[in-house]
Amino acid sequence: MMDEEAREIEKALLELDRMLLKGKEGKIYHIMLDALDKSLITNTLLITFGNQIKAARWWGNNRNTLRVKIKKLGSSLREAKT
């Protein structure tokens, strides 16, 4: 499991390097935060079987805040349930 996680981190860092080389300076912070949010939201919705209220409680937010993030990131319940 740890080797897989290490490979995922390495892959993300390589992608970050590519972005820096493509002139994305100043945007990396927001790109990384959005990627982290999307991953956490998707996984939390999977764990809670798509229940946004439970997912929001896990996050320490309310459902409306979670819904705004879902809309912003283009994440969908259909995506999370598959």
pLDDT tens series, the chain, 82 aa: 467 777 887 888 788 777 766 766 677 777 778 888 888 888 889 999 999 999 999 889 899 999 998 888 775 444 544 4
Distance CA 72, CA 82 (A): 20
Cβ neighbours, 10 Å, residue 1? 5
For residue 49, report the phi and psi dihedrals to the nearest 5 degrees.
55, 40
Q: What is the predicted pLDDT for the residue at 47?
A: 92
Q: What is the predicted pLDDT for the residue at 17?
A: 74
What's the CATH code, domain 2-81? Answer: 1.10.10.60
- Whether the full predicted model's pTM is greater than 0.85, yes or no, is no
Which sequence spans correspond to the domains of the chain?
Answer: 2-81
